[in-house]
Chains A and B, each alone.
Chain A
Amino acid sequence: MEVEQTALPGIGLRHDFTTQSGKRIGVVSHRIGRRDLVIYDREDPDRACEVVKLNDEEADALVELLGAPRIVQRLNQAHQEVEGLVSLQLPIPATSRYVDRPMGDARVRTRTSASIVAIVRSGQVFASPGPDFVFAAGDIVVVVGSADSTSEVADILAEG
């Protein structure tokens, strides 16, 4: 994909490119900070048939909407690219002996050399939990490590 940059003397810059489906879209960056999202006419490719004026806040919001899913995708790809590294999401069953006990009691790192990087509890993410983090039934534990060590973690957490 090639993004074309054109100077607009006295106004600012224009960036535009053609999407795979053949639509040409662009962004006019005004020097005063305003952004225009422009979509070009299929029949008259020189004409912007749709101009959406965005202030700073709106432009940021749009960037987040368009950009965030892509960032997640890239992270997933990065994981796959590191050979031998596995990321698993393991549930804590209600029957687990670690329910209502601090994470340190499981001694996951010492026993398996895999790391617990996050806990997901009812949609909320607790990143890098400490050893005193108390597990609850239904928590999802995100573990990173080798294929063997992560499956060992699964066994530990499921212990009754």
Chain B
Amino acid sequence: MHHTAILFLEFGAVLLGLGVLGALALRAGISPIPLYLIAGLAFGTGGVLPLATSEEFISVGAELGVVLLLLTLGLEYNADELVTSLKSNARAGIVDLVLNAAPGAICALLLGWGPVAAVAMAGVTYATSSGITAKVLTDLGWIGNRETPTVLSLLVFEDLTMAVYLPVLTAMLAGLSLVSGAITVAIALATVSVVLLVALKFGRYIEAFVSSPNSEVLLLKVVGLALLVAGLAQQLQVSAAVGAFLVGIALSGQLAHDAQALLAPLRDLFAAVFFVFFGLQTDPTKILPVAGLAAALAVVSMLTKLATGIYAARRAGIAKAGQARAGIALIPRGEFNIVIAGLAVAAGAHPDLGPLAAAYVLILAAFGPLAAKLVQPLFEAIAKRA
């Protein structure tokens, strides 16, 4: 068969399969991310239906997916919100970082995977999935709740932390020496600061350049700019993902909303490809041996997120039931954790890291939203008794 024919057949079958899985997830009221990962596991090496031709194409699609995920994440927040959140929630944000990075890092160190894998695993357990959490808040009608601003500003803080963390991880994974590693990190930090400053002071010039009444022109300009900066960032060892995130932050206001709406379908397509690709790279036969470990890690980091939420909400003067809700809302892990694990796997980290991260995210992406739904009646009972 012709090469293009096979490529289309395989890729089409994968996308169609994802569509069907997405519909199932929608009906069950859970995030489709765990199902996408499972689909990737089934198609990949050692899976039931290995893909022959389209894997290379999917890998490029996955890279695009990461850039688009981070670009749209950056578009959600404007520079003002980031700075305000940094000022007012620094303490809760640091508690979040320490409590939730610890389980992953300690786990990797206990397994003897070395410090680089420990930093990667710290990221895997640290970041809450802002996508899944936002969906949980909307679905359960928690947006208007008084603990919600606390949850949201923790998410903002985490995303900002990622802008610093990803370049550090990239430098460490590249095996740079201490000096050149330090230079890379310094470049990354300087870039992040400059972009924030530019976005705060001169955002309107960038917007004037990008904005267009024509949606086609706007789409091409935004994606083009994001890819260009992502490529530049990758070249500087700062990580393409951070570059795209910063472009997203620099754009704000009406322009950001328009761009977000335009990019959403594109992002959904390539992000799904990205999750499949991660599953493809992971050998499903290796998941079973680490399943117990992943479950234990999931339980521990559920408790640490719960503690984080309770701490942050109590500081904001929220009552007990609201504190618990804040903790529950922070439990889901998803896209970011897979992005981090993907970086580590691509750089040749310990072979068990990929399967462990996959199993871990499978559990928490699926269980997080369910936990929120199951626990809601319990809170009402607590609140009534108090």
Contact = CB atoms under 8 A, between A and B. Distances in A.
A48 B384 contact: no
A10 B156 contact: yes
Most buried by A among B141, B153, B257: B141
B145 A47 contact: yes
A9 B77 contact: yes
Interface in A34-66: 36, 38, 40-41, 43-48, 51
Contacts of B237: none
Given A36-B144, A46-B318, A6 B149 contact: yes
Interface string B77-111: 10001001100000000000000000000000000
Interface in A15-31: 16, 26, 28, 31
Given A44-B319, A44-B322, A48-B141, A9 B147 contact: no
Most chain A CB neighbours (cut-off 10 Å) among B85, B147, B152, B257: B152
Contacts, number: 78
Given A7-B149, A8-B149, A9-B77, A31 B143 contact: no
A75 interface: no
B329 to A, nearest CB: 12
The binding surface of chain B is classed by DSSP as helix
Given A28-B144, A44-B383, A7 B84 contact: yes
A51 B155 contact: no
Contacts of B386: 43
Contact of A9 (B81, B143, B379, B380): B81
Nearest to A32: B257
Nearest to A36: B144
B143 A36 contact: yes
B251 to A, nearest CB: 14
Interface string B112-152: 00000000000000000010001000000111111111001
Contact of A46 (B143, B155, B321, B384): B321
Nearest to B157: A9
A93 B380 CA distance: 65
B207 interface: no
B55 interface: no
Contacts of A47: 142, 145-146, 321-322, 325, 379, 383
A11 interface: yes
A52 to B, nearest CB: 10
Nearest to A53: B141
Interface string B298-331: 0000000000000000000011011001000000
B63 interface: no
Given A14-B149, A41-B383, A8 B319 contact: no
Top 4 nearest A-B pairs (CB, nearest first) are A38-B144, A46-B322, A48-B144, A44-B383
Interface of B: 76-77, 81, 84-85, 130, 134, 141-149, 152-153, 155-156, 257, 318-319, 321-322, 325, 379-380, 383-384, 386
24 contacts: A6-B149, A7-B149, A9-B77, A9-B149, A9-B155, A10-B77, A10-B81, A10-B155, A11-B134, A11-B143, A14-B144, A16-B144, A26-B144, A36-B144, A40-B146, A43-B383, A44-B383, A46-B318, A46-B319, A46-B321, A47-B142, A47-B379, A47-B383, A48-B144
Interface of A: 6-11, 14, 16, 26, 28, 31-32, 36, 38, 40-41, 43-48, 51
Given A43-B383, A46-B325, 7 more contacts: A9-B155, A10-B130, A38-B144, A43-B386, A44-B319, A44-B321, A51-B144
